[in-house]
Amino acid sequence: MKPLDLEAELREMIASPEKVQMVTKIPVEGAVCLLRDSPFMILRAAESGNIEDFNRLFTDEPKRLSVRDSKGRAAAHQAAARNKLNILQFIANHNGDLNILDYQGNTPLHVAVEHESLGAIDYLLQQQSVDPNILNEKKQSVVHLATELNKVKVLEVMKNYKQRIYVNIGGEHGRTALHLAAIYDHDACARVLLTDFNACPRKPCNNGYYPIHEAAKNASSRTMNLFLQLAEARGCSREEMISFYDSEGNVPLHSAVHGGDFKAVELCLKSGAKISTQQHDLSTPVHLACAQGALDIVKLMFSLQPEEKNTCLASCDVQKMTPLHCAAMFDRHDIVQYLIKEGADVNPLDKEKRSPLLLAGSRGGWKTVLTLIRLKANIRLKDSNDRNVLHLVVMNGGRLTEFAEEVCKAQSQLALQELLNEKDNAGCSPLHYASREGHIKSLENLIKLGAVINLKNNNNESPLHFAARYGRYHTVKQLLDSEKGSFIINETDGEGLTPLHISSQQGHTRVVALLLNRGALLHRDHNGRNPLHLSAMSGYTQTMELLHSVHSHLLDQVDKDGNTALHLATMENKPNSIALLLSMGCQLLYNHIGLSAVDYAIYYKFPESALAMVTHDDRAQEIMNLKSDKHPCVTLALIASMPRVFESVQDKCITKANCKKDSKSFYIKYNFENYDFSAETIKAKRKRLGDPNWRPHPLPVINAMVQHGRVELLAHPLSQKYLQMKWNSYGKYFHIAHLLLFSVFLMLVTTFPSQIMSNLPLNVQEYSDGNCSIPRCTDDCGSPKIQRNRSEFCNASVILFYVLTNVIREVFQLVQKRWAYALDPSNFVSIWLYGSATVMVMPAIMGDTEGCADLQLSCTSITVFLSWLSLLLNLQRFDMVGIYVVMFLEILQTLLKVLVVFSILIIAFGLSFYILLSNGGHLSFRSMWLSLMRTFSMMLGEIDFVASYVQPLFPDEYVEKDQKTPPHLPLPFTTYFILGLFMVLMPILLMNLLIGLAVGDIESVRRNAQLKRLAMQVVLHTELERKVPQFLLERVHKTELIVYPNENKGKLGFVDQILRMWLCNPFSEDGLDMVFEGEDYVSEEMAKMKLKLKEMNKTLDSQFQLMKLIVQKMEIKTEADEVDEGVSPKELKGTSNPGTKWTSPRVRNKLRSVGSVHRFYTTKRIEKWK
């Protein structure tokens, strides 16, 4: 019995009053606790059985019965562990909890069982309040615990209270106490449980095992013998007990064989268990014993039940495997020999048509293979894949020398020769598999034995093709060194591929070099592709470099479709191959349907391939100048399909001087070759068209950016500098001239109303009726004409001349743009402006004052408004204020859209107020239209609550002296309800919605405004280039611009600064900052790391080769030396058939008919080796 040491816990609790307070839940007044008053003293008293101290401590504080030690045990646990009945009686008499649990879920009864305190157990079981069936955290009741600890005396005490104890209660995994007795072979406990407690031996656990199965599986022979004896004494025969099936269909004999206990198996057999009994998968105990290699158990089963031997030897499981198959599968050669000696058939076939010999060969059981050959097993049998035993031995790296010797000894040399060149259902011989797996010794032995090295499989592939595909360098070398090696080096398979093609396609550079050195010819496959084509399609650059160094003429060869290696690498999206081919100097050719490599990259949207071409250090501009029917301009195609790629092109067109950034000699060069047609291109186009005056479309690249909404490309420093170059060359002069002319027009339009207002007829008076409230003339309009001054006539003439000139320009634009002219709202502003200005100046031009002046005044007001509005629209072209003007117009569009939708509410409230207030004397609601206008003004905050809604309620207090009938509210309740609803929906909800739309979408508005402002600059330059003579454009055009940011060529005056800020430069200087900020230091560091990794890779390769030389010099031999280098069949990815992807006639016809490329994939053949 282990004593419980409470000294350390007691000292800790005495020193820490807080812990005492926490555990006992008793308030502690002082910081010092006397030892005699410590709450833990009750545990010491319970342990020692000192009833006086225990009574005193309990009397002082009854809650001390719940005080626990570090294991969570209370006084009842301590008393039960020390068998102190007086303490237990005291606790029971004072209504203490005798089922209290410790931290492991143990009751005092569990603790008493653990310490074998028999008196305490007996007393506790006498108490009706004690529950003996409580499970602790290990899912154990007291009967489980007593059985597991083999406490026989405890069980004998407990049997007196068996009516209170549920002996068949399930614990962990549903195991009863009888299961535990069987597992631990506690036969004495099992006897008590069966005889005294009447435990049920037929109750299974959650896994479906009966106690007898547990006994058999755990080799508990004494307990199993007890089960059988007691069952027989109770009238249950041994045969019945031994025939219990568990959830998997196992009888105890199966479990005994699993456990490997010889005595348990013997007991089962002597008890009547049949060795031919099959479980759910139809396997017998003999199958299990043979698989485990238990030869003594097999001999025991056959010796005790010889009548069942033949049945077991011929029995098959679900896979139709006999015991001989099971033994052969796990290389149990001694059992194989014994089974055959006992009469087992040596050549049975399983479900996959495998004999024991074939099964042993496929599982690498070489001892069994040799044993079966000695025992005259049939070596001509084949499995479901038509593979013989030699196939399987070679595939699994078997010892071919010993195999050949045993075959020759046991059977004949002729039988071995027949095996050497047999083919399976794929047409492969053992030499094919030796080449594929890289088994050097097996390959060497097969060749020595006379295997034919030029046998072809169903795809017309030889062993050399296999070795080339999987990169078996030494295997290739052995095959080439053989007698017929020179004849197979250039043989082709069913697709016209030679070993050189295949090794190039898979990137096995050493094999390629070996084949080239041995005289491999540069044939073409059935699609007209050479090895360089295939290596480029697969992206193996080292192989490409090797092939090009030996045969440089392969670079520009084309296949049957006219595709070069560059075309094929682009189709497969191999940027490394593309970059290498361009660096090698390949020609940029077109295939038979007129497409170049860059056309394929753009059509299939391969950004990696396109980027490798258009950013190449030496060939980028040559790529950009390519043209085809599909993509007449590479630049425009990139902008439309891959803007990120063209952004990289833009970055490449900006170069910086290789010096310090603060140096005066530091410069930034902008190259605009990709933005305009070159002079040679224009001349060639004119010559081809026969039109010497042909002009290209102005600014095609910039207009394409605007058309496709590429803000990031327009905002790029290169685009900004390009437009700035155009602006400084000619744009600013035309723009300033236009602005000056419009300023003169605006000044005249602004001063002209003051002149006509001073000369209005005196008889113009205000006239109003129910339908109109504009000024009209009276009947005396026919008075004498008033003399017009000369300045008014001159102003009118100038205004009319300007209007007529711009009308002609607008008509020209209308003819040129047609329906697109109506899509620009500013054109309608111009039409209204010129029309109203014409009406405004016509009376002054004609000298006619007989007409009505109201029309002239109306048109004058419209003209003044529209002219200043046009000035606002013209300010969009300036950088400082243009962005705000465009943002204003964007928000205006949103406002109009919202108002169109919510005008329904304005109409609803306007009509409601008209109905409620029109009869109350309210002037602003007298008519329907006035009511709608008043409602709209109220929406903006002009509610006039006091005058319109408060004063009418109290007409006597607010009535004015001259007002006879003050306004009133006919229906005040309804009016105030509609007014409250209006205040919530319109001024609060709707206005906040508009503000939220304007503020919340400010980023998108700013982005759209930026795009529109840039688009306006593009439109400006486009229109100017259409009108500027070609010779002038050619004179001012620049293909590059060099900027020295650190040079200060002179200080600008105040006026020049104003002109530069507001007029002369619509482009910000942010582009220069973007050039400096665009230096991606992370990319530079990544490039450095890549270089370091490449150097480390080269160093590791050199060290690996050095280690191989050292190992060869030291003649160190390992099992790995028997396997050639290369990749395994599982690691090798299935390669597509290069002849079916781009050469289908249907695909070629479709490409020619539509002038574009559509990607069609036919069925790909993938080599799968199992």
Whole-angstrom Cα distance, residue 584 to residue 27? 91
Q: Using CB atoms within 10 A of its CB, is residue 1170 exposed (0-12), middle (13-18) or buried (19+)?
A: exposed
Tokens of 643: 């803007």
Tokens of 744: 């003169």
* Contact present, 1046 and 666 (Cβ < 8 Å): yes
Whole-angstrom Cα distance, residue 325 to residue 350? 8
In DSSP notation, 197-208 reads: S---TT---TTS
**Extents of the domains making up the chain:** 887-1000
Kindly state the DSSP code that residue 669 receives in the 8-state scheme: E
- Is the overall model pTM greater than 0.85, yes or no? no
* Contact present, 957 and 946 (Cβ < 8 Å): no
Backbone angles phi, psi at 840, to 5 degrees: -65, -40
Q: What is the 3-state secondary structure (H, E, C) of 338-395?
A: HHHHCCCCCCCCCCCCCCHHHHHHHCCCHHHHHHHHHCCCCCCCCCCCCCCHHHHHHH
Tokens of 648: 């990289």
* Contact present, 433 and 462 (Cβ < 8 Å): no
Beta bridge partners of 669: 655, 1042
Residue 771, C-beta contacts closer than 8 angstroms, at least 6 positions apart: none
Backbone angles phi, psi at 600, to 5 degrees: -65, -40
Whole-angstrom Cα distance, residue 243 to residue 241? 5
* Contact present, 1162 and 1148 (Cβ < 8 Å): no
* Contact present, 351 and 359 (Cβ < 8 Å): no
Residues of the chain predicted below pLDDT 50: 1-35, 762-787, 961-962, 1050-1055, 1063-1079, 1118-1120, 1134-1170
Instruction: Say which residue the tokens 């004072």 belong to.
Output: 94
Position 30 scores a pLDDT of: 41
The vertex-353 CA angle with 347 and 354, nearest 5°, equals: 55
Q: What is the 3-state secondary structure (H, E, C) of 1056-1088?
A: HHHHHHHHHCCCCCHHHHHHHHCCCHHHHHHHH
Position 1002 scores a pLDDT of: 65
| Helical spans, DSSP H, in 759-878 | 790-817, 825-846, 853-874
Beta 654-656 vs 668-671: how paired, if at all? antiparallel
Give me the sign of the Cα torsion angle 132, 135, 138, 141: positive
Which helix (DSSP H) or strand (DSSP E) does residue 409 occupy? helix 400-410
Position 665 scores a pLDDT of: 84
Q: What is the 3-state secondary structure (H, E, C) of 161-184?
A: HCCCCCCCCCCHHHCCHHHHHHHH
**210-239 burial: b if 16+ Cβ within 10 Å, else e:** bbbbbbbbbbbbbbbbbbbebbeeeeeebe
Whole-angstrom Cα distance, residue 1047 to residue 1044? 6
Q: Which of 259, 155, 263 is nearest to 214 (CA)?
A: 259
Query: Identity (one letter) of the amino acid at 152?
Result: V
Tokens of 258: 């699993």
Position 1137 scores a pLDDT of: 42
Beta bridge partners of 319: none
| Helical spans, DSSP H, in 220-321 | 221-233, 238-241, 252-259, 262-270, 285-292, 295-304, 309-314
Q: How far apart are the first and last CA of the chain?
A: 64
* Contact present, 183 and 214 (Cβ < 8 Å): yes
* Contact present, 327 and 291 (Cβ < 8 Å): yes
